[in-house]
Amino acid sequence: MKLIENSLGRLVPTEVNGKPARPFAGLGKTPPTGRKSGPPIRHGADYGDKSLKNLEEAVEAANLKNGSVISFHHHLRNGDFLLNRVMEIVAAKGLKDLVVAPSALFPCHEPLCDHIRNGVVSHIEGSMNGPVGRLCSTGGFSKTAILRSHGGRYRAIQDGDLHIDAAFIAAPTADAHGNATGDRGPSACGPLGFALADSLYADWVTVVTDNQVPFPCYPWMIEGGNVDRVVCVEQLGDPEKIISGTTRVTDDPERVRIAEMAARLVLDSGLMDESGFSFQAGAGGVSLKFVEFMGNFMREKGVVADFARGGSTELLVALLNEGLVKYILDGQSFDLHGVRSLAENPRHINTNPFVSYNYHTKGCFAPRVKASVLGATEIDFDFNVNVNTHSDGWLLHGIGGFTDAADAEVTIITAPLTRKIHSIVMPRVTTVTAPGESIDVFVCEYGVAVNPRRGDLVERLKGSALPMTTMEDLYAKAMELTGNHRTEAKTAEEIVAVIEYRDGTLIDSVRRVIPE
C-alpha cells in the first residue's frame, strides 16, 4: 500500500480497495470536477404493482451478486431489525464479499461481525461503532473500511464514489407506490433523510414498511418514483430502542459548568446580537444543558433564533413552541417529543444531508449556523479533533455529522479535560476526524481555549469574564491531574480504515490495534 502525507502530516493511502484516493489538502483546497452520478433511466411501463410478499423475495429481486454494495439508513438506531434480517437472508444465499454501506451502525448490529468473519461481507463504507468497529480495529475486515460523515456519505453517493447496487430503506409508513415517511407509524423515527441519497442514486431501491397506508402517503420523505419494490413486514424494529422517550439534560456540576461556559461564549462573542441567529447542539447531556442556557439567554435578551439545527429533542421543541426558535431544521429526532413535533408542527422541518451537510452542492445549511456545539474524544494543540478512535487506538465511533456541523460560523468543542486516566487534550490527536482549521473553540471545566486562527473571535471575546486559556496550558493541567499519564495506541503498520473528510479526501488512516 503506497502512502502519502496529507496537509496535516498524516500518512494516507493513495489507493483504497483498488480505487485511487486523494490526500486532504486543507479546507476548500480540493475543488471537485466532473458530473454527478446518473442513476439508470427507468421505464414507467415496467412499474405496475411493486408489492413483494416478504424480505426473501425482496433480496431475490435485488439481484445481488458477490461484491455488491448494499445500503441501510440508521434512523431506527439501536431498535433496527432490518439490517440483521436482510443480512441473514443474504448470507443464507451464499453470497460473498458484499460491501455494507450503512449511514451508521449500532450495538444491535453486532451479528454483522459474524458475516464479516465468514466472508459474506468484506468491509463497511459509511459508519461503524461498538462491536463492528472493534472487529475492524483488530484487522478483521478483508478490505479497508471507509468512514464518512453524514454529509460526506451523501457526497460520495452523489459523486459516484460510493455506488450502491441495492438500498433497503426501513420506512415507518409507506404506500404501495413507495412514497415513505418516518414521522408516523408504530416504528416512527422522525426524519428519513439519511436514506435520501440511497433512494436517488442506488440502482435498485426497496422500501420496507410495517405500516402500509393508502396512496398517497403524505408527507413523503422518500418519493415512490425512485422506488422499485415495496415490502410489508410484521415489525421494522423495537419502538423502545428506536427512540428514547425523553433525552436527559446533565446535572453533573462539572458538565453543567462546561455547558454554561459554552453558552456564555456564544453570548459574549456577540453572535446573538447579529441578525439571523441560529445554533446546533446534539442530544448529549452537555449539549442539552447548553441549549437550556441558550434559551435562558435568548429569553433575557429578547432574541429569537431564525432556526436551530436538530437532532431534535424535547428541549429544542419547547423552544420552538415558546417562539424562541422560528424553525427547527431537523436531521434526526432524538426523542419522542422530536418525532411528534416533526409530524405536527409545520415549523419543524424535515431535512436531509443534501440540504444540510453536503459540501458538493451550491451551498448547504451548515455554514449558516452561527454556533455549533460538538463533543470529541480528543483535541490537539492545533485544534484537530478526533471523534473516531480512543487514545488507545480502538475505532469505536462513527463520524456522524461532526465534520459537517463543524462548518458553522463558530464551532465549539465541549468535553471534560480528562476521562478516566486519559487527557482529552493531546499534543497530537491519535486520529484526525476534523481539521483544526474548522474548529474554533475548546471548552472544558478548566477554561476556554480559542483557536488562534480566529483572531476575530479572540477580539470579540475581549472583556468576557470567561476563563481564557490555551491548549498547551490545558494539557499541562491534564498531565498534573493524571499523574503524567500518556496513553499511547499500540498499533501495527497495517491500515484497517481510512477517515474521509467531507470533501472526499483522506484526512487520516486508522491502523490495526495490537491487543494487550
The secondary structure of 340-394, three-state, reads: HHHHHCCCEEECCHHHHCCCCCCCCCHHHCCEEEECCCEEECCCCEECCECCCCC
**Least distance between a second copy and beta carbon 355 (Å):** 5
Measured from the CB atom, the residue of 161 and 445 that comes closer to a second copy is 161
**Least distance between a second copy and beta carbon 362 (Å):** 5
Measured from the CB atom, the residue of 69 and 417 that comes closer to a second copy is 69
**Least distance between a second copy and beta carbon 342 (Å):** 13
Measured from the CB atom, the residue of 3 and 349 that comes closer to a second copy is 349
**Least distance between a second copy and beta carbon 203 (Å):** 10
Distance CA 412, CA 218 (A): 38
Distance CA 397, CA 133 (A): 7
Measured from the CB atom, the residue of 129 and 206 that comes closer to a second copy is 206
**Least distance between a second copy and beta carbon 40 (Å):** 6
Determine the residue type at 442. F
Please provide the DSSP assignment of 423-457 as one string: ESEESS-SS-SB-GGG--EEEETTEEEE-TT-HHH
**Least distance between a second copy and beta carbon 49 (Å):** 10
Which residues on adjacent β-strands are paired with residue 349?
A: 329
**Least distance between a second copy and beta carbon 508 (Å):** 21
Contact residues for a second copy, defined by CB under 8 A: 27-28, 31-48, 50, 158-160, 177-178, 205, 214-216, 218, 223-228, 275-276, 306-307, 327, 329, 346-347, 349, 354-355, 358-365, 367-368, 407
Find the radius of gyration of the CA atoms of the chain.
Answer: 22
Measured from the CB atom, the residue of 128 and 157 that comes closer to a second copy is 157
Measured from the CB atom, the residue of 329 and 513 that comes closer to a second copy is 329
Task: Say if residues 493 and 142 touch (Cβ distance below 8 Å).
Answer: no
Please calculate the CA angle 151-169-127 and round it to the nearest 5 degrees. 40
Distance CA 297, CA 322 (A): 14
Please calculate the CA angle 418-105-93 and round it to the nearest 5 degrees. 150
Measured from the CB atom, the residue of 228 and 445 that comes closer to a second copy is 228
